[in-house]
Chain A
Amino acid sequence: MKNIIRIEKLRITEKSKVVTVVFVLILIFAPYLFPGHNTYLLALSLVMAIFAMSFNLLFRYLGLLSFGQAAYFGTAAYVVVLLYHHLGIDSMPILFLTAVAVATALAASFGYICVKYTEFYFAILTLAIGELLYFLAIKLKWLTNGTDGLGITYLPLLWTNTLNTVVYYYLVLIVFLISVLFLWRLTHSPFGLIIQTIRDNPTRIESIGVKIRRYQWITFIIAGVYAGVAGALVVPLYGHIVPDILRWHVSGEAIFMCLLGGYTSFLGPIIGALIYTFIKDHLIAELIYWQLVLGIIIVFFALMFREGIVGLVRRGVRGVP
C-alpha cells in the first residue's frame, strides 16, 4: 500500500515539473508564438504577475490583507519618471534600482507601523497609505505635475530602446523568472513555513517563541520589493504615469488577479495576471465600468469561490503547483 502511495506522489511531482517546463518554454518563445501587440500584453502580464505575487505573499502565506500594495508599485513608477524628468537620467539600471530601493524603504517604514496591528486596522492602514501618497502626488504639482502626470518616451536598452517590445519583453521575462524562483525558495524555506504558522495560529506559535512582528515586517518588506520591481518595470509599458496608480483600485487589481487565478496556489496569481491583462485589453474599449465588474467578481469570490481558476483546474488535474 505504501509503495503505491509513493508512486502516486512521484507522478504528481513529475507532472508539476513538466507543466512548469512547458510553461517556461512557452514564455521563452512567446514573441514568436504571439507576436505584435500580444508580446506587449505578455510583458505587461508578467509585470502584473510580479505585482500580484507581492499581494499574495502577504495574503496567502501570512493571512494579511494589504489594500495598499499600489503605494509601492506607484512609488517605484514615480521615482522612475521623476528621475527621468527632473534629472534627465535615462540609464535603466540606475532608474530601476533607485525606484526599487525607494519603494522598499517606504515598505520598511510603513510596514514597521502596520504590522503592529491586527487584521482590520492593518487593512485600513495599508489603504490609507496609498491614499496619502495619492494626495501628495496631486498636491505637489511642481514635482509630479499633479493629475496630468509624467511620462517617458523611451529608455535606452542594450543596443536598442524600450520601444522595442520584444527585447523589453525578454528583460521583463528574466526579472520575472528570477522573482518567481526567489519567491518559490522563500515560501518553501523554514521562514516560509513559520509565516504560515503565524497565519494559522499566531497565539500558539508566539508562545513557542516566534517574534511575530519581526516575521511580518520582513515579509512586508519583501512584498514591497516585489511591488516596487513591478512598478519600475511598468513605466516603459505604460509610458505615462498619473497619481491614480497609487490608489486603492490599483491595489484592487492585484487582489483581483490573485483571486481570479486562485490565491491558494503558487501559480494562481501568475495565471490570474495573464488572464486579467489580456481580458482587460480586449474589453477595455467596450467596458468602461471596469471597477464595477472587478467589484462584483471580488464580492463573488469573497462569498463563494476561494480557489479561483487554478483551483478548478486542480480538481480535474492533480499535480498543478
Chain B
Amino acid sequence: MKLDFQVGTSKKAHKVMGKLAGRTDDDKAPKNEKAPFEKMSDAYLFGLVLGLSKGQKVDSISNRINYANFSSIEGDLDIYSMIKLFGDKDDLSDKDTIKNAIEAYATWGLLHIDENYNYGDDDYRLAEIFTNE
C-alpha cells in the first residue's frame, strides 16, 4: 500500500534533520562535509526506522513543521508493511493514525540521534547506534 500524504516533524527534529544532511543555518554556507546523510529525506527515513526498531515514538509533536510528501521519502519501499510488522497494531487504523505514527517514530529517532550521537560541532558518530540496544 503506497502512502501518499504530507509528513512533518517537530521544529527541533526538523533542524536536526537538516544538520544530519549537512545543512547549516546559513543557506549560502557550504554543506557540512562531516554530515552522515546525503539528503534530509535519508535522515527522515533513518529516524523513522530507528523509532520503529526501538518501538519508540514521541507522545506529541510540538511546533510541527510540514516536511515533504511521504511518497518522496518512501520511494520503492513498502513502509506500510514495515509498520505492520514492526509497529503498534493501532498505527494502521486509518490514514491519519498511519501519518501520525510515521511522524512520531521519525521525530523520536531524529531527536534520539542528536541527543546521543552528536559529538559536538555537528559531528555525528553513528556506528554505535547499530549495536546499542
A binds B: no
Task: Give chain B's interface residues, CB within 8 Å of chain A.
Answer: none
Task: Give chain A's interface residues, CB within 8 Å of chain B.
Answer: none
